[in-house]
Amino acid sequence: MARLEQAVVRTGGHSVEINKVLKNTYMLLALTLLFSAATAGLAMVMNMPHLGIIPTLIGYFALLFLVAKFRNSSLGIVFVFLFTGFMGLTLGPILNLYVTSVANGPQLVMMALGGTGVIFLGLSAYAVVSRKDFTFLGGMLFVGILVAFVAGLVAILFSIPALSLAVSAMFVLLMSALILFQTSAIIHGGETNYVMATLTLYMTIYNLFTSLLHLFGVFGDE
């Protein structure tokens, strides 16, 4: 009987901890998305030019490293906001390009935003409600994202539109799978750090949005 009571206490405590991580993750994710949207809006208002591929990659990996390094301290939260704010600044010029240079640009942006929301909320809800374990996707996702990232760089450096389109389609699939993986990792106790979980989910949303925007633009003959 005593062992049973201890097991119930451990299980209950584990569930509480998981729920806490899940709650903190989505709360921080909401705040960082708002901050990122604000910096993107600022970049649009100021008509900031795109930073360029090299400065963007340097800023991206430097801030990524700092978030990971300080993930267990309050500085981790600070660097998450700096990271998402920086990504918002890189997004602003892209949005300006669509809004000002494409006839149906605002509609394409709203379609990409709506599609991103539907995919993210739908897959997150499915992972939470079904309680299925999608952590087995980890290895495949790592390889797939690495391949897509390298292919994306090649498409940019050598200006290969067809490859760029294929990369965007790949990222839509990979980010959808990553949403299932990360949410599943949280609810099954595999991810206990809400800072890193927030970072991962933010990147799924960012990449989903930009990939869908690219695809909608291409299929809209823009």
Query: What are the tens digits of pLDDT across the range 130-150?
Result: 999 999 999 999 999 999 999
Report whether 79 contacts 67 (CB < 8 A): yes
Distance CA 135, CA 183 (A): 9
Tell me which of 11-25, 78-92, 111-125 is least confident: 11-25
pLDDT band at 58; cut points 50, 70, 90: very high
Model's pTM, two decimal places? Answer: 0.90
> Residues in the chain, how many?
222
What value does the mean pLDDT take over residues 46-71?
94
- Distances, alpha carbon 4 to alpha carbons 10, 11, 14, in Å: 10, 10, 15
- Distances, alpha carbon 27 to alpha carbons 73, 131, 172, 178, 197, in Å: 17, 21, 24, 19, 11
What pLDDT was estimated at residue 206? 97
pLDDT band at 218; cut points 50, 70, 90: confident
Query: What are the tens digits of pLDDT across the range 87-124?
Result: 999 999 999 999 988 888 899 999 999 999 999 999 99
Could you give the percent of the chain with pLDDT greater than 90?
78
Report whether 13 contacts 63 (CB < 8 A): no
